[in-house]
Structure 1
Amino acid sequence: MVPTVLRHDPRLAHIGGGQGVAASTVRRWVLEVIALPAARARRLGQVSNRPARSGASVVLVDGTLIRTRRRTRRANRANYSGKHKQHGLVVLGVTDETGRLMWVSAVLPGRTADITASRRLRLRERVHTHGLSPAGIRGCHS
């Protein structure tokens, strides 16, 4: 059930209902499976060391909106991106100078702008500690 939920994003009551499993149980299973790779993910400080050691001076920062289904009530407003006119979640990615993905942030509400997300995550300060400069988001550079 968990791979189906992660791949197709069906309603939890529908996916569990056919097997006699409550939606809350399916939600708990999904969260447990997501927590496993998240716990092993490298932190930004760890991945910033690699380009700094190789002599790089810049990392590229960019955000994207991952489309999601429309939520209900208040959650609906937080996940609506006025820029894209869609519901979704925002993630920021950090790449080295060649474009190789080094780090991806946790998801933020869809209404969050890239620059706001970078400020909230303190990307500039965290990357500067390793002698690198972020590029790609206006206002995030040094």
Structure 2
Amino acid sequence: MPILKWDENYSAGVKILDDEHKQLIAMINKAYDSVTNMEEDIVLRELVKEMRAYAASHFATEDNLMNTYGYPALAEHLEMHESFAVKAEALNNLVSSGDKVDPVKVFKLLADWLRDHIMKTDKELGKFLNAQGVK
């Protein structure tokens, strides 16, 4: 059973960003379900790969929009993206080497990203892009 469902409170106001943010909600639910169903070992390897792919794809989308429209907080936003990508890569290295990864740590990383980045930073980006005519 999902712990989160998409609603407009998560929206950045830009369709392509919202569509990609829905993938993050799905990953949070997958991490939560893996713990609830005691299937962490099965799910975590795939989830960590998804996180890396999400970071690469979604960040490229945002980076392109920020560069195209001259987003004034570009440097700070890119630093946040880099930080998440580094954390996802570190988790991937642990999983790939056969080390045990705490599923709660993965869940917390994703939930914190939703709360701290998407609900705040990406909403500001969305407002800026909306002002530029991007919907």
Same fold (TM over 0.5): no
The structure whose residues are more often strand, as a share, is 1
- Report the structure number with the largest CA radius of gyration: 1
**TM-score w.r.t. structure 1 length?**
0.29
Higher relative contact order (CA 8 A, sep 6+): 2
The structure whose residues are more often helix, as a share, is 2
